[in-house]
Chains A and B, each alone.
Chain A
Amino acid sequence: MISVASVICNTFASATPIALGGIGGMFGERSGIVNIGLEGTMLFSAFTSVVACYYSGSAWLGLLAGLLTGLLISFLHAFFCTTLKVDHTIIGLAVNILASSVTVYASSSIFGNKGFTPSVEKLPTISIPFLRDLPLVGAFFGSMSLITLMVIPIVILAHHLLYKTPFGIRVIAVGENPQAAFVAGINVQRTQYIAVMLGGLTCGLAGSFLSISYLSMFVRDMVSGRGFIAIAAILFGRYKPVGILLAALFFGFADAIQIALQGIITIPNEIIQCAPYALTILAVTVNEARSKKK
């Protein structure tokens, strides 16, 4: 039988990196910078988190390393896109290609193993009083990942930042019409840098989640398409923080159902595992078709 509790747990766990990556990509997209490199940024962060955690013994330093990595990669991304004006997709692809080879090489030269790293300390999980006693969802709230807990505040913060602050308005203005924004006295490049790097932070958080909260090690190519699903979540969520969260939950739910169905029904696992990817294409298609009609 399908366990409702485990579906709920898996939904939130799967949705966390997609939502965080999506929020990260959204800031860039809103300022006019397309970031295909979310996948690679997350992979880099996941790796550095484990390395920092391994050497310091502290998951907190691992988290910090993941955040800083996200910041650094997104700074480079912004530098290439805004200052050097390289094609955004090409530089995103470069980040992805670089990430998958550099992390594996570094893994083998630091730990002597290409496939995965040794197990490290995880970030602490949080047990929320009262909520943990609820039926069905109790197990989830009883040992909740710290980063999953941070998703909702981050979405609220992103929403506030984007719509209620001068900075957010500037980001939107720059993304909608850079020339007009420039004439209005906005520093277009600086706004884009800040927006992309802000996104890099949450992307880094998503990477850290995968390696030192969801798992406790780095596995080769462990992001496995989540960065691209995050891009789909951005499109599906119509570039709005709350929309992205809902889209991420939708994809997370699809993933949880997929995990729950494995071994239960007679359809082979390989086919069930395709579901989240197929759903992503379908969701983007429906979304684009809908926005075309308007």
Chain B
Amino acid sequence: MNLVHQLINRKSSNALTQVLIFLVSFLLALVVGGILLALQGHKDILSVYYYLLIQPLTTGNGIAKVLVQTTPLIFSGLAVAIAFKCDVFNIGVEGQLYAGALAAAYLGYALQGLPRLVHVSICILGAIVVGGLLALLAGWLKVRFGVHEVISTIMMNHMISNIVTLLVVDYFRNDGPTARTPTVQDSARMLSLSGSSQLNSGLIIAVLLCVVLYIVFEKTPFGWQLNAAGKNLRATTYCGVDAKRLILIAMLISGALAGLLGAERVLGGFGYMQVNFSPGYGYDGITIAVIAGNNPFGCLLMSLLMGLLCTGGTQLNVMTDIPSEWVDMLSAFIFVFVVAANAVMLKLPELKEKRLSRERRLAK
């Protein structure tokens, strides 16, 4: 009873409610996904979920693979979250990360003879600047002209994808069958954390960023301003906050994180930039940030889960005939259910109010 009370009275325990909402949505998504498989004639649904959720975690190699998938997702989730925080939708992470990746790859193979720390830093800086500026452009169009950022960033995604492909294929191409840049210098590689997988120091940066952003969001005036602007932009402006500047800064940081994602994939993961390497990290970031309610640690946990789903999905694809898109669909379901559940939770006090007033009327 106490639990139900807490659920209805959101103020008492917001984090707990969010976790419960997520768990229920997650289970519901698994049930719906299972039903779909059963309809297709799959008999052993439980073993499907075993391969998806448990099996990758049973070996060290599997855990490393999960963490490799998790790293870019953390960056993406944080990138979307910081813009969401002040009610701006950066749908352009997908484009910004490609631009950042190309910048990192170019600086990585073109510069030579630098010490490792300097070289890696320059590459990352390049990626951050390119990603950040692209997002800033969308932010500037929004505050200067009122162009909705969803439209501008989506259009920019299409353009960046075209241009980056052109640059890689025609200008920065490595000789070989795949469309990719030359491999970056050894001095530009991020530290590897395990010999056999792509796991690298990018994960440490990502986790540290979660901590930093948590502190920024919760403990600094800037975080307060972001939060306030997201809740009520006009009221925040009356408090003397320059909302336009705030949006520009949020977009800049968001794009920078997207660029960092690209740099991590190139310098830590592949060692080169390949055309169309992202399986949709930018869009996964939206799912992660919304489900996590823009909480950096929530983003971290959600990225771990999505990383697990991604790894398990590949595994599933090998072991059974279930396509990896089934897993993408699962995360889309979780997203929709969380949104719906949150909406219903917001609606509950109103319904309760209605019931009470009806009871009062009847009592009279």
A281 surroundings in chain B (CB, below 8 A): 141, 147, 151-152, 155-156
B91 surroundings in chain A (CB, below 8 A): 93
Q: B46 on the interface (CB 8 Å rule)? A: no
Q: Is the CB of B163 within 8 A of A97?
A: no
Stretch at the interface among A81-89, A123-131, A170-178, A181-189: A81-89
For chain B, give the interface size range: 35 or more
B336 surroundings in chain A (CB, below 8 A): 94, 98
Residues of A within 8 A of B (CB-CB), count: 42
Q: How far is the CA of A285 from the CA of B145 in the complex (A)?
A: 6
B23 surroundings in chain A (CB, below 8 A): none
Q: Is the CB of A224 within 8 A of B170?
A: no
Q: From A91, A102, A291, give the contact of B329 (CB < 8 A).
A: A102
Q: B158 on the interface (CB 8 Å rule)? A: yes
Q: How far is the CA of A280 from the CA of B328 in the complex (A)?
A: 30
A179 surroundings in chain B (CB, below 8 A): none
Q: How far is the CA of A132 from the CA of B286 in the complex (A)?
A: 49
B332 surroundings in chain A (CB, below 8 A): 94, 97-98, 101-102
Q: From A90, A93, A105, A271, give the contact of B162 (CB < 8 A).
A: A271
Q: Is the CB of A104 within 8 A of B328?
A: yes
Q: B349 on the interface (CB 8 Å rule)? A: no
Q: Is the CB of A108 within 8 A of B151?
A: no
The chain B residue with its CB closest to the CB of A229 is B155
Interface of A is mostly: helix
A225 surroundings in chain B (CB, below 8 A): 154-155, 158
Q: A289 on the interface (CB 8 Å rule)? A: yes
Q: How far is the CA of A225 from the CA of B343 in the complex (A)?
A: 28
Contact with B along A283-294 (1 / 0, CB 8 A): 011001101100
Q: Is the CB of B329 within 8 A of A101?
A: yes
Q: Is the CB of A277 within 8 A of B89?
A: no
Knowing A228-B154, A270-B162, the reply to whether A285 touches B340 (Cβ < 8 A) is no
The chain A residue with its CB closest to the CB of B286 is A93
Q: Is the CB of A85 within 8 A of B155?
A: no
A-B contact pairs, 23 of them (CB 8 A): A85-B343, A85-B346, A86-B343, A90-B339, A94-B336, A97-B286, A98-B329, A98-B333, A101-B325, A102-B332, A114-B323, A228-B151, A228-B155, A232-B155, A235-B151, A270-B163, A270-B166, A271-B163, A277-B158, A278-B155, A281-B141, A281-B156, A285-B147
Q: A86-B343, A94-B335 are in contact. List 5 more A-B contacts (CB 8 A).
A: A93-B290, A94-B339, A101-B331, A225-B155, A284-B148
Q: Give residues in B with beta carbon < 8 Å to A.
A: 40, 89, 91, 141, 145-148, 150-152, 154-156, 158-159, 162-163, 165-166, 170, 283, 286-287, 290, 323, 325-326, 328-329, 331-333, 335-336, 339-340, 342-344, 346-347
